[in-house]
Structure 1
Amino acid sequence: MEPSDEHIGARVRYWRERRKLSRKQFADMVGRSTSWLDKIESGERDLVRLPMIERVAEALGLDPAVLSDESRAQRARQCVDACEVQSIRRALAAYPGLQSGKPEVVALEAVTGQAFYLDHAWMTSRFTVVARHLPSLMAEAQRAVQTASGRDQVAAYRVLVTVYRLASSMLLKFEANDVAWLAADRAMHTAMLVDDTWSLARATRSVARAMTSIDEQAQAITTLLAMADRMHGEVNTNAAELLSLHGMLYLAASITAAEQEDPGLARDMHEAARATALRYEPHYNDHHTFFGMTNTQIHRVAALVRLRECGQALEFAASIDPKAVAGLSAERQSNYLLDLTEAHTGVGNYRQAVRMLGRAEQIAPEEVRCRPLAHGLLRSLLGSTSGESARLVGQMASRAGVEA
């Protein structure tokens, strides 16, 4: 294990606070006093005995090396871990409506603000931020729906749909697919209770992605197109509010068709999204979807990669304005670069694949260092590169804790 300028106690404090444990709670968990914990966290007393390090690590849900090894400590800090995924699972298992007594009134404005903050964190690929705050926000949003007055009811339901969607997206990122399906289904059920087109369109995308993750592509496409058809008339009368959501349904359908290995349908759905994007105007509300021609184009690249048409994907990507891509969210940009990494790998252009993956890491470190999908790309490149490219991909793999 490597020496560190940061003492173990500082790491204990960091993880205790990240787990949202008070000093008293944590001291009780490890069978020590709060004064003992204060001395450990301040560095006044060293935590050096392995049995005690293991006890503290177990209470925090960590591998002991995360407390004692500098490189492991750095990698763990930057990624969502199993305990945080489990916290999201537990939040989904709560049914506050079954509790007796009148629920505490929740300030809808505060819950809405927190949901907006986590939505922004998601778009910037700061998944650790989302994971830390999502379980408590889910409970708050559930109570907001229970206590909202008539005029605030739709707004409360929209917040809860947003929170369930974030949970589903987070779980899909880290391949907890069955639970992601549960979160997406909760979003859809919530949206159907209020019969709000905004909520239904957003929930439908989440449900479709979750269905695709468990190999239910045909049903996912049916669901997406049913929602697109349902909202068609309303889109025509309220394009500024709903057009972006309508277009994103077609983009989701294009990716799902590609996953189903149906190139014709994938192309048709891309063209439907493109036609929608041509109607889109800058002052329209994109609801954090970043819908528009550029997002439509990079979805086409993603579809071609999933169809294993890597050469076509790269040819199409060459027609996309890089400056327009740079205007998208970090999450969208980095996933586009991951698609390009896979495409370049597919045609044997490993040097360019490493370059794309390096750019993705610069834009959104958590996407490359923490996601199983990116780890798979790193392992592939570790076995395929040489020279400077091998050195660069080796450095990325080291930061991600990936071995060949």
Structure 2
Amino acid sequence: MDDQAQAIGSRVRYWRQRRGLDRQRFADMVGRSMSWLDKVEKGERSILRLPMLERVADALGVTPEILTDGPAAHRAADCVDAVEVQAIRSALGRYPALSANLSSATPTTHAQIVRQLNYLGQAWLSSNLTAVAQHLPKLIDDAQIAVEIASTGPEQLAARRSLVMTYRLASSMLLKFDANHIAWLAADRAMQAALPTDDTVALARATRSVARAMTSAGQESDAIAALANMAGRMRPDLQQSDGELLPLFGMLFLAASIAAARIDDHAVALMMHDEADAVVARLGDEHRTHDTVFGPANVAAHRVAALTRLREGGRALEYVANIDPTIMVSLPAERRANYLLDLTTSYTYTGRYEEAVRSLNEAERLAPQEVRCRPLAHALLRALLTSTNGSLSRTVHNMATRAGLTA
């Protein structure tokens, strides 16, 4: 059996399955039989002749190089790609409730939706972004349908809370890949799903999502206003809450601190940080679930993020020096990796390139997809490629190669 044909066949099977294509459908797409496809995927038939290689690659939404070149194949497998971002966008453009067949369809149960949300939430916290991207479009469809068919009362509220969380996840994913306008759409969908409930939990989650999208779209003042309004609405409910609302309340201030930093409002950024600190003191032990990560570590990470966005790298690093490093270990991979990216930025601002490279290297070790796949990390790599030499330059060059960047 030809080793190259076997490697290509294995990649064809991987991408076919990642795209959610069954064997018959894919065979039809390339105009071949299922037996032909079986032989290709087993490495018993070569597709190296260019017209067929291009046809197969095009059907899979990849370049021929991703099927034929080992390093390129590995890089692509590690990252969310344009096809998957477009799939999320397409899911946001579908309206299952308009279908005439909605009443005859067999819906996904709410319990199944919650399980899938929990799975994708954990994948998100682990920075397994490809897993989130692959399953999110179907979850969007399922969660939308669940709201349409749910009865009134608790069942409707539960369905809408799940839909809010689904849209929030979509918005957060899209923001990571600079698809800001689509992220804004997903966040607004979360708010529209929450508003009819008059439910504080759903509204707080939607507000955070909307505020983050506004901030990325240059509407920082609007974001701060929305967060402040939601915080004011929540305050009377906090005394009667069993603690569920406090983490959501605190996260509003963290989002506001970042929005204020983006418009160089030092005073508001610090005030929002202090508000979040006060919530931590009320909460006690860190509250951590797949939808809210709140506590001393995340408040500290957001202060570093705010100072970094204020372009005060020196002050950010002074603040870091007073953080107990053991508390940062409690953060999930996604949040901790982004903290390390902020550290990399601050070290780069201050010319401390050895520490910058060390932080970026640690972020890649902890959450490879955050460094190898995101535009933010690519910009940091390009900056360090031009700022380092010797062994540091070699380390950065190796990271850039793994991210598919050229020097």
Aligned to 2:137: 135
User: What is the CA-CA distance between 1:286 and the residue it aligns to?
Assistant: 5.3
What is the one-letter code of the residue matched to 2:294? F
Instruction: State the Cα deviation string for residues 21-54 of structure 1 (Å, max 9, x = none).
Output: 1111111111111111111001111111011111
After TM superposition, the structure 1 stretch with the greater mean CA deviation from structure 2, 141-150 or 293-302, is 141-150
Check conservation: 1:96, 1:143, Cα contact below 8 A: yes
Mapped contact 1:211–1:217 kept (Cα < 8 A): yes
Q: Which residue of 2 aligns with 1:384?
A: 387
1:235 aligns with 2:244: no
Shifted more, 175-184 versus 145-154: the winner is: 145-154
Note the 1:189-208 alignment, pairs <5 A: 189-208=192-211
Change (3 A) 1:195 1:87: same
Q: Take 1:28 and 1:385, find their aligned partners in 2: how far apart are those partners? A: 51
Structure 1's 58 and 105: CA in aligned 2 closer, same or farther, altered over 3 A?
A: closer
TM-score (norm 2): 0.96
User: How much has 1:277 moved relative to structure 2?
Assistant: 1.0
Q: Could you list the per-position Cα deviations for residues 164-203 of structure 1 after superposition, in whole angstroms to 9, with x for gaps in the alignment? A: 0010001000011110000000001001121111111011
1:323 deviates by 1.2
Q: Which residue number corresponds to residue 110 of structure 2?
A: 108
Mapped to 1, the partners of 2:172 and 2:219 lie a distance apart of 17
Q: CA deviation at 1:6?
A: 5.3
Establish whether residue 56 from structure 1 lines up as the match of residue 59 from structure 2.
no
Letter in 2 for 1:296: V
Deviations 1:270-298 (A, max 9, x none): 11111111111227565642211221111
Task: Please tell me the residue identity of whatever aligns with 2:93.
Answer: A
Structure 1 contact 145–160 (Cα < 8 Å) conserved: yes
Equivalents in 2 of 1:121, 1:351: separation in Å? Answer: 31
CA distance in 2, matches of 1:163, 1:65: 34
Query: Is this contact kept in 1: 2:297–2:330, CA < 8 A?
Result: no
1:237: Cα distance to partner? 1.7
Q: Could you tell me how far 1:236 is from its partner in structure 2?
A: 2.3
Give the letter for the 1:118 counterpart. Answer: L
When residues 5 and 279 of structure 1 are mapped into structure 2, their CA distance, relative to the original with a 3 A threshold, is farther
Query: CA–CA distance in 1 between the matches of 2:288 and 2:56?
Result: 48
Distance 1:239 1:251, change over 3 A: farther
Aligned to 1:292: 295
Distance 1:46 1:202, change over 3 A: same
Partner of 1:399: 402
Alpha-carbon separation, structure 1, partners of 2:51 and 2:68: 13
Q: Is the 8 A contact 1:104 1:143 kept in 2?
A: no
In 1, Cα distance between equivalents of 2:36 and 2:204? 53
Counterpart amino acid of 1:397? A
1:202 is matched by which residue type in structure 2?
R
> Match for 2:239: what amino acid?
N
2:349 corresponds in structure 1 to 346
Matches within 5 A, 1:204-219: 204-219=207-222
Residues 1:368 and 2:371 are matched in the alignment: yes
Could you tell me which residue of structure 1 aligns to residue 98 of structure 2?
98
The offset of 1:364, in angstroms, is 0.5
Q: For residue 15 of structure 1, report the CA deviation from its aligned partner.
A: 0.3
The answer to whether the 8 Å contact 2:9/2:41 transfers is yes
Match in the other structure for 1:7: 7
Residue 80 of structure 1 deviates from its aligned partner by 0.2
Contact 1:258–1:307 (CA<8 Å) still a contact in 2?
A: yes
* Cα shift readout 1:296-342 (whole Å, capped 9, x = no counterpart): 11111100000000000000011111111011110110000000000
Residue 74 of structure 1 is matched in structure 2 by 74
Mapped partners of 2:73, 2:390: distance in 1 = 29
Say which SS state the counterpart of residue 80 (structure 2) adopts: coil
Distance in 2, Cα, partners of 1:375 & 1:360: 13
CA 121–305 in structure 1, closer or farther in 2 if over 3 Å, else same: same
Question: What residue in structure 2 maps to residue 83 of structure 1?
Answer: 83
Which runs of 5 or more residues in structure 1 are unaligned? none
Aligned to 2:20: 20
